[in-house]
Amino acid sequence: MRPVSLVTMPLPASVGDTLELLNRGDYIAERSLATSVYLALRMGRPLFLEGEPGVGKTEIAKVLASTMGRKLVRLQCYEGLDIASAVYEWNYSRQMIEIRLAEVEGARSREGLAQDIFSERFLIRRPILQALEGDLGAPPVLLIDELDRADEPFEAYLLEVLSDYQVTIPELGTMKASEPPVVIITSNRTREIHDAVKRRCLYHWVDYPSAERELQIVSRKVPGLAASLSAQVVALVQKLRGMELFKPPGVAETIDWAKALSVLNVTEINPEVVDETLGVLLKYRDDIERIKGKEGQALLSS
């Protein structure tokens, strides 16, 4: 990604401006995706991006943060993710020290001590609360990545965040963002996300790119690669996606393969090169064994 200014940029004024904004971050987007991004930014709504792994969903948030001069706050979802890891928790060790000091001093009442230890001094802010508090300058870009990996109860907790940009902490009350962050949510669709979450967001399915757009992406990301080799790379990857593989290569794998061929000083793809570098493109043994040899040769000659 090319360096961009750290100065906070105003929101794009049109879909065309959004395309240019993404382009400045080396993200070659289709107009439909740029339209969704533009509407999410202008309407102040979270954007829910769903699609196969490796098609560039997470990259959208990174590029927006970079090109708009905003801080990126990332919440990587996983099974068992809870509020203590995603939103806030109390600093129990510091609270215990405070209690011991109060016992030694003997000056504070029990009620006064309880108010002290449940004040903001002892609050540990996790990604969602950081994004809502607005002490990062301009509102940040909040990336809630791979929400489909989190448990369903966590989705329910997100409803208040996504609709009102606020969280409720029982001991402190409601903490609401003075200006909403830019929220990007991604899902690889390993399970369905509840409709209640989707209703609070604008939705866009991020598909694999066309051959033409993928060639533009490779040219931008691996500028030193010969045009003829880039065309071979994209053509083979597009054919692989048309096969029933356990995990077809994403755009990230296309770029990695192009970079790998550049490192190996390959000038033309032949069956031997394909066999030796399939591990860059495919991540499952069964897929590699299927393509290696005659199947790979057939793909190159078709």
**Arithmetic mean of pLDDT, 225-229:** 94
| pLDDT in the model for residue 112 | 76
Quote the tokens at residue 139.
């509102």
**Confidence label for 35 from pLDDT (cuts 50, 70 and 90):** very high
| pLDDT in the model for residue 274 | 93
Percent of the chain at pLDDT > 70 equals 96
Of 200, 87, 76, the closest CA to residue 150 belongs to 76
Percent of the chain at pLDDT > 90 equals 77
**Arithmetic mean of pLDDT, 26-39:** 96
**Confidence label for 2 from pLDDT (cuts 50, 70 and 90):** very low
| pLDDT in the model for residue 18 | 97
Task: Name the phi and psi angles at 97, rounded to 5.
Answer: -60, -40
pLDDT 10s digits, 122-135: 999 999 999 998 66
Task: Name the phi and psi angles at 247, rounded to 5.
Answer: -145, 95
More confident residue, 35 or 109: 35
Query: Is the model's pTM score more than 0.85?
Result: yes
